[in-house]
């Protein structure tokens, strides 16, 4: 079927997808703009894992100060090219990530960063809470509680503050689909005025154990 160039233009503006991808999606959906956008995003999300192996040596470091200077955030988000690093959509996404960090207070980017000692400590607590139940039931309950723990402390598994029904990981996937490059939230720091430094926390913990 003949595709209206104006529809192709609108779809490109909404998704940042290539012209041929937009034309193909519109052809497949009978010229329905909303269905074509959904198709593009679905395909992009499905292909995000394929892009995950690509090197991300460009990107930006962004900052955010909130609550009259009481909370501050620094985050590094990487992409593949300087072209995308300068893209308004990419920069808006990074800004949203700084807002999310300030509001949701994640401790780690992903599960891989959570210290094994902490995971084992949480696991022991959960196992103690369900003592007396059958072993197969215990393992399922503990696994579920650990998933809940990860969704609390790991940014990628938290519900995005602007859309709690979507995780940050899913948000990243949609941006990979829209921009056509691998995107990685590499690291972040969150400061809160008056919070204990890690060294102070360690000293306090040691003093409590000694007591």
Contact between 188 and 73 (Cβ < 8 Å):
yes
Domain 1-51 belongs in CATH node 1.10.1530.10: no
Rounded to 10 degrees, what is the CA torsion of 75, 79, 82, 85? -50
Contact between 85 and 59 (Cβ < 8 Å):
yes
Which of 171, 157, 163 minimizes the C-alpha distance to 107? Answer: 157
Is the pTM for the entire model greater than 0.85?
no
**Length of the chain in terms of residues written:** 211
pLDDT along the chain (211 residues), means of 10: 83 71 83 85 58 81 92 97 95 98 96 95 92 85 93 96 91 88 95 77 45 46
Quickly tell me which residue has 């100060």 as its tokens: 65
Output the six-digit token pair for 65. 């100060």
Interhelix angle for 33-51 vs 5-15, to 10°?
A: 40
Q: Give the pLDDT confidence score for residue 125 in this predicted structure.
A: 94
Q: Give the pLDDT confidence score for residue 195 in this predicted structure.
A: 85
On the 0-12 / 13-18 / 19+ scale of CB atoms within 10 A, 36 is buried
Residue 206 neighbours by CB distance under 10 Å: 10
């Amino acid at each position: 079927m003949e595709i209206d160039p104006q529809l192709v233009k609108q779809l490109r503006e909404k998704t940042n997808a290539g012209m041929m991808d937009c034309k193909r999606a519109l052809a497949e959906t009978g010229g329905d703009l909303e269905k074509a956008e959904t198709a593009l995003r679905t395909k992009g999300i499905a292909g995000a894992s394929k892009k995950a192996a690509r090197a991300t040596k460009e990107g930006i470091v962004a900052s955010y100060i909130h609550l009259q200077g009481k909370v501050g955030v620094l985050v590094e988000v990487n992409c593949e090219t300087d072209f995308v690093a300068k893209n308004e959509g990419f920069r808006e996404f990074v800004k949203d990530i700084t807002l999310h960090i300030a509001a949701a207070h994640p401790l780690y980017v992903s599960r891989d960063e959570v210290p094994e000692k902490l995971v084992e400590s949480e696991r022991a607590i959960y196992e103690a809470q369900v003592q007396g139940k059958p072993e197969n039931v215990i393992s399922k309950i503990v696994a579920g509680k650990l998933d809940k723990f990860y969704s609390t402390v790991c940014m990628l598994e938290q519900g995005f503050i602007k859309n709690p029904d979507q995780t940050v990981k899913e948000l990243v996937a949609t941006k990979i689909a829209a921009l056509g490059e691998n995107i990685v939230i590499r690291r972040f720091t969150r400061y809160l005025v008056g919070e204990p430094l890690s060294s102070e926390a360690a000293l306090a913990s040691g003093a409590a154990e000694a007591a």
